Chain A
Amino acid sequence: MQYLSYAVVLGGAVCAILGGWAYFRRYQVSRPPIGVFNLKDLALMVLFIILVPFLYLVLPTWLAAGLLLLAALSVLYFTWEPVLHARRATWLAVCALLTADLGTAFLLGVRSNGFFAVNDAVLVMVVVGISNLWAQSGMKARDAALLGAFLAVYDVLATSQLPLTSTLFAHLAGLPLAPLLSWDSGRGALGIGLGDLLLATVFPLVLRKAFGRSAGIIAMVLAPGAMGMLLALPLQGVFPVMVVLGPLMGLQYLFWRRYRGQERTTWQYFQEDPLRRRGQQLTPQQAG
């Protein structure tokens, strides 16, 4: 039965990565019309990563749950908007998803696999949305690699040296919309955190934009491969996944930077790798 947990969690991670990739080539999220994701945003993000766990720990449970709900609502809205177009349909889809998550949490309990199934699906959509918002807002491969490097160090401190991550998971795991992709096979739940999944999903996108399709595909294979190996190890407690993913991202970035040179901008990426609309014929060049 442990295999089932493994299959569900790894399958969920693969779904997020593939979903993010497919979304990236098909839909445009409503990014802010002015501004590009830059190093200052990265610094701010790092600050949030450091502070938000403490915030969640000190906030009353109802407020923490409210914040999770608000965040999920906004992310799911901008994720579904370019897919469904109509505002009413988008709101309907988002409300249905959140109702299902809250409903299963209250009716079946937050430790039930019924809840995990719904929550994992919602989490995959959230990851697809956030990773695309970052990548489509001009996040560079350099920024993602730097974030990965920082998280590799942070994860060691917060997860291995301090009880921060395990306390946080314990605190949030009892809430609907918990930021953990997990499955319980009866002998304890197996899971992977939202942050790890986000980095694993966004990196192939920014690599594809910066260095081309091959770079993206390799990243898309390496990340679930690494996660699969880690999940298969007989580890006890919480393991800092970014300790493996972070250096992997850094090495890939350095390789492609050396091999391909300067990163492409989004504009250059679209020039060289135009989006193919549904029903549009490939040019001989593209087909070749």
Chain B
Amino acid sequence: MHAGPVYSHAKRARPWSGLSLAELATQVVHLGDRAALKELHDYRHLFYYGGNGPLRLAEYVDSLRGSSWALVCCDGRSQLLDQAYDLTIDKFAHLPNGRPRASSGRPTASKGGRDGPDCRYYWAAFLEYAARQTEAQPKESELEREAMAGVILQRHVLRHFGLSCFESRRRANPLIRRFLCKAAGQMLTLWFPTEMTARECRSWLKANASDADPTRPFERYRIQSLIDEVLVRRLIGSFEQFGCRPEDLTAPQPVPTDPAFPDGAEISLRDAVAEEKAANLDQQRPAIRALGAMNLARLVRRIFDDLGDGEIEDSCLAAEFGLSRASFSRFAGSRWFRRMDESAETAIPDLWRNTAWVLSGIPAFIAAGRTTGLWDRIRQVLDRTQSPEDLR
């Protein structure tokens, strides 16, 4: 049995309690009406999930966050699921201040700019879907119209939760960044390599996708697939392009802007790895998981500190943190190579693999690798594993 809606008897607290779903969305889109937005989020129970309902929007998105489908979309990473949840709620709840409306009645603010999403875009899209359905399948009964609007809104929210999962995955990748492109009077959200400047992105689009037309179905996917192909091609091309050039080592170069490590900030590999490990405690081996997030972060920092001071005393550190020598060795052993079977490349301890992961997302490290043959190493790995075609 459902929990039933929560009504308020203070009519003044719900000035739009009598409006239909479409009327409320219209208030939000055309007037930026916060009371209508509050009514939609706080009082309307429009969603059903897995036998539960009716649920409010946030409750529904929370249910989706716990689904196995969402876990697949987020590549099994719970942190990304949480980000996808926040992003979806923002898409339908975040109403920026003071934005003028276009003459069409649609908001003029960017869909996902620096201030976050503008919910008017998402409610406007819902109204468009609802209007199309009404036109295709007219219903004279207002009860039926309201029910149909609920179905459409639920699927609209579900779709955007799925897309938020993928956006979270992209946001977590420091090698790419969002680029908003205006074409035929509409905005397209695309993802380009971080190293490309806005001007380069625009030039590339002009040369390779000058026919971009956001009104064409699935256009964003077509353009993005072109960019993705180029991204891989650039990587492979750069293998050939860069070698060890000692002259590059003499003059300090400006630090590239890096979303994870802002310009001018001191980059602490030790802290970055510690925080990443602690944030993904649930993905650690049982013995390490048992340490808890705080102790794990402390252990990682201690290992990095000891490395700087001298040899790691594996057995002493293991005892101090209550780990067996075998557990410590799998986690952060300092001599893995001699024990490694030649075919077993996975023998690198978890902490060092994780350090490699953190480094792989730092543009400064990748750029430094260009001058020192890192790309040659990547090319060798690539040659051993798969053909470039497989990467697409």
Q: Do A and B bind each other?
A: no
- Residues of A near any B CB (own CB < 8 A): none
